[in-house]
Amino acid sequence: MNARPGTALVTGASSGIGAAYAARLAAQGWDTVLVARRAQRLDDLARRLRAETATTVETVVADLSEPDDVARVARRAADDGVGFLLNNAGINGYGPFAGLDPGLMTKVLHVNVLAVTALARAVVPAMLERGRGTLVNVASQLAFAGSLPPDPLPERAVYGGTKGYVVTFTRTLAAELAGTRLRVQVLCPGLTATEFHRSRGDEPVPGREQSVHEEGGMPVDQVVEASLAALDTGQVVCVPGLADPAPVAGLAEAERAIRAAARRGGS
Instruction: Check: CB of residue 158 under 8 Å from CB of residue 110.
Output: no
Helix 39-53 vs helix 16-27: crossing angle, to nearest 10: 20
Cα 132 from Cα 7, distance rounded (Å): 13
- Alpha carbon 238 to its chain centroid, in Å, reads 12
Helix 67-77 vs helix 116-130: crossing angle, to nearest 10: 10
Cα 239 from Cα 254, distance rounded (Å): 18
Is 142 strand, coil or helix?
A: helix
Cα 66 from Cα 74, distance rounded (Å): 12
Cα 267 from Cα 264, distance rounded (Å): 7
The residues assigned a catalytic role are: 159
Strands of 31-36's sheet in order across: 57-61, 31-36, 7-11, 82-87, 133-138, 182-187, 237-238
Nearest 5°: the CA angle 45, 50, 52 is 95
Is 187 strand, coil or helix?
A: strand
